[in-house]
Amino acid sequence: MIRASVLVTIAALIHAPMQCTHEPDPTLRQEDTAGDALWDLAHDFKTRGDDAAYRHTLETLVARYPSSRHAAAAKEELGPEGGAR
C-alpha cells in the first residue's frame, strides 16, 4: 500500500511541470492593462461627444503605452499627426 502511494506521488510530481509550463492565452486574459483602460475610456468620451477628452486620452495612450495592443489603432484614429504632442 505504501509502495503504491509512493508511485502515485512520484507520477504526480513528474507530470506537474508539464501542466505549468505553457504560456497563458492572451485572448483569455482576465485583467485589463492600462492601455486597455485608456482605449475604453477614450471611446466612452467619444460616445458622450467630448472630442477633446477623446483625443487627449488617445494621445496619452500612444505616448505612455506605445507597445499597447491599442496603440496602432489609436494612432490611426488620431489621424496624420498620430498623437504627436
If one compares 23 and 59, the residue with the highest pLDDT of the two is: 59
> Is the pLDDT confidence value at 66 over 60?
yes
Confidence of residue 4 (pLDDT cuts 50, 70, 90): confident
> Is the pLDDT confidence value at 83 over 60?
no
Question: Residue 14: in which H helix or E strand, if any?
Answer: helix 2-20
Share of the chain above pLDDT 90, in %: 54
The pLDDT value given to residue 18: 56
Query: Rounded distance, CA 45 to CA 22, Å?
Result: 38
Q: How far is CA 56 from CA 3, 25, 28, 75, 77, in A?
A: 67, 31, 29, 12, 12
Report the pLDDT averaged over residues 5-34. 69
Query: Rounded distance, CA 75 to CA 44, Å?
Result: 17
Exposed, middle or buried, 10 (CB in 10 Å: 0-12/13-18/19+)?
exposed
